[in-house]
Structure 1
Amino acid sequence: MIMITGVDVEQINTLQLTDIERDIVNQKKKSEIVYRYVSLEALEFELKMRSAIINAGKALKASDATFAVFKNSRCNEQLWTRTDSGGFRLISGMRPSIGINDIFKNGQLYSFECATAMIITLYKATLTVLKKDIFDVYFQDLYLRDWNYDSDLQLKIIEHNNEVFPGDIVYFKNPDHNPATPEWQGENAVFLGNGLYYGHGMGIKPAEGSIASLNRRRIPGSTTSAYLTDEVVHPDFEYLRNLSTSRHLLPGNHHTEDTIVARIGAHMYTLYSN
């Protein structure tokens, strides 16, 4: 069930939605779980973000970026510094939007594992929806590695109760993976809808295909199958929506024709207008 504060749910029909966005709405309407939104705009923003996550996953698959464990990761060193732990830190002064877009433009220069791929996918989707000026303000000092190093997307981990929506990040666990290949202990993947998942290093497959791929990387003789876990990850959509509308200068901030400098917490950020 969908509930929108102060709005008749039938007003959803006034939104210009893609087929996949309409499918998400219909799935939520039929659910026994109540999905609450503060406004019609909040629902619309989530749907646009989910579409962007799907498209970013497909684009990363097509980018020629390859799979590698952390010790063998690679990046474009004109934009990123590779850390000792295999992550990528954006070079100081580089616009975050340029760094993220380069991964999709020059994918052959990059190799990383599946959790990093999911973070990259989420950043690309956020950049698409928020646009580069806002993204460059709020996503300074990017560090790409895995979930433990990300905070500015405000990621939410939710038990899905058998309800997974296109644009969710899921995890296939391989409990009996071969210790010689710890990178196959599981696979992070974007649910693309229509029963398909994108996992970096595995490609686009149905759940059964992802599970079969992991099962081929078990301890020899194991009969314990890999499986899709009951948790999903996605950004805090309402938090990101608020970023998209909070472009007002705070008292004491300064701006020129080309830039706006804004204070957010203890940090100063520069918004480029060109």
Structure 2
Amino acid sequence: MITIQDKPLNTSSLPALSQIETAIIQSLASQSVSYNYASLQELSFELALRKHTIHASISLLQSGARFESFMRSTCNPRFWRRMPNGAFQLNPYVRPSDAIEDIFQNGQLYGFECATAIIIIFYKAVKDSIDQQSFDQLFQQLYLYSWEHDEDLQLETRAGTDYVIGDCLYFDNPDFAPQHSVWRGENVIKLNDNLYYGHGIAIRTSEEIIYHLNQMRRPGATTTAHLLPQVTRLNFTFVRTFSSNGYTPRTSLDSAVTIQTGNQTRLS
């Protein structure tokens, strides 16, 4: 359910929405949880940020960035210094916005695991939703390693099953085989009702993700992989405070988005 100042949203008051924005609105409205906004502008900003999260997910898939363990991680040394633990530390005098963008433009130079991929996606979504100067001021000490992130990114994880398009979800694989420890689970971004992007697994349905993870279980395993009842999302209201006065989020996805399984995903 969506409310504006505690009143049910009148969809006729909304401007013309793109296909993906309409899908996000429907995803929010279909939840049993009530989503209340102070204004239509606040809702509009969240739509833009969720939309950019989807765009970033698809762009990362298309970038050529590889799935690698921390021990085998790689990055572009022009922008990042690879740390002994496999993390990426922003180089001095490099603009954070340029470093994040390079991952998507030169993905073949990068390799990382799925948690780092999710953080990268959220950084990219924020970068595309606020002005560059604000982004560069906020994230001057970028450090990419698993779920570690700048406190100003403000990711929130909580229990619940109100899965909304643009959220990060987690498929747990409790009986994973020791030799397949990288597949103890998969962090994903929800793209539509039953399509998810996960780094290393591409764009799949929940059934396909569970099937893949189940192949990585120990012999004799009896517990199937499953979607955890938890949600990770950006603090949209907080991020909006860093948008310049009057700044309108970019609308590069205002046209229709076609999402297909596998690697044949395209933007149109």
Given the two structures, how large is their TM-score scaled by the length of structure 1? Answer: 0.85
- TM-superposed CA distance for 1:11, in Å, is 5.8
Runs of 4 or more consecutive aligned structure 1 residues displaced over 4 Å after TM superposition: none
Output aligned runs, 1:123-142, within 5 Å: 123-142=123-142
Q: CA, structure 1 residues 90+225, in 2 after alignment: closer, same or farther (shift >3 Å)? A: same
Output aligned runs, 1:206-225, within 5 Å: 206-225=205-224
Q: CA, structure 1 residues 109+230, in 2 after alignment: closer, same or farther (shift >3 Å)? A: same
Q: Percent identity?
A: 41
**DSSP-derived class of the 1:243 partner:** coil
Output aligned runs, 1:57-206, within 5 Å: 57-161=57-161, 163-206=162-205
Q: How big is each residue's C-alpha offset from its partner over 1:122-142, in whole Å with a ceiling of 9 and x where there is no partner?
A: 011111111322211211110
List alignment gaps of at least 5 residues for structure 2.
247-268
**DSSP-derived class of the 1:164 partner:** coil
Name whichever of 208-217 and 7-16 sits farther off: 7-16
Residues 139, 150 of structure 2: 8 Å contact kept: no
CA distance in 2, matches of 1:155, 1:12: 32
Q: CA, structure 1 residues 237+98, in 2 after alignment: closer, same or farther (shift >3 Å)? A: same
Per the alignment, residue 256 of structure 2 pairs with: none
CA distance in 1, matches of 2:134, 2:177: 44
**Does 2:31 correspond to 1:35?**
no
**DSSP-derived class of the 1:141 partner:** coil
**DSSP-derived class of the 1:148 partner:** coil
Residues 134, 244 of structure 2: 8 Å contact kept: no
Residues 169, 191 of structure 1: 8 Å contact kept: yes
Residues 7, 40 of structure 1: 8 Å contact kept: no
- TM-superposed CA distance for 1:158, in Å, is 2.4
**DSSP-derived class of the 1:62 partner:** helix
Q: CA, structure 1 residues 13+224, in 2 after alignment: closer, same or farther (shift >3 Å)? A: same
- TM-superposed CA distance for 1:74, in Å, is 0.3
Counterpart of 2:243 in structure 1: which amino acid?
Answer: S
Asked which structure has the greater RCO (Cα within 8 Å, sep 6+), the reply is 2
Q: How big is each residue's C-alpha offset from its partner over 1:161-195, in whole Å with a ceiling of 9 and x where there is no partner?
A: 3x211110010100000112211110101111141
- TM-superposed CA distance for 1:12, in Å, is 6.2
Counterpart of 2:153 in structure 1: which amino acid?
Answer: L
Q: How big is each residue's C-alpha offset from its partner over 1:196-250, in whole Å with a ceiling of 9 and x where there is no partner?
A: 1111011110011111111000001212110010111111000000110369xxx
CA distance in 1, matches of 2:63, 2:190: 18
- TM-superposed CA distance for 1:151, in Å, is 2.0
CA distance in 2, matches of 1:144, 1:179: 25
Residues 81, 91 of structure 2: 8 Å contact kept: yes
**DSSP-derived class of the 1:130 partner:** coil
List alignment gaps of at least 5 residues for structure 1.
248-274
**Does 2:47 correspond to 1:47?**
yes
CA distance in 2, matches of 1:167, 1:37: 17
Q: How big is each residue's C-alpha offset from its partner over 1:27-76, in whole Å with a ceiling of 9 and x where there is no partner?
A: 33343321111211111111111110001000000000001000110000
Residues 96, 140 of structure 2: 8 Å contact kept: yes
Structure index of larger Rg = 1
Name whichever of 140-149 and 214-223 sits farther off: 140-149
CA distance in 2, matches of 1:6, 1:66: 45
Residues 6, 39 of structure 1: 8 Å contact kept: no
- TM-superposed CA distance for 1:21, in Å, is 1.8
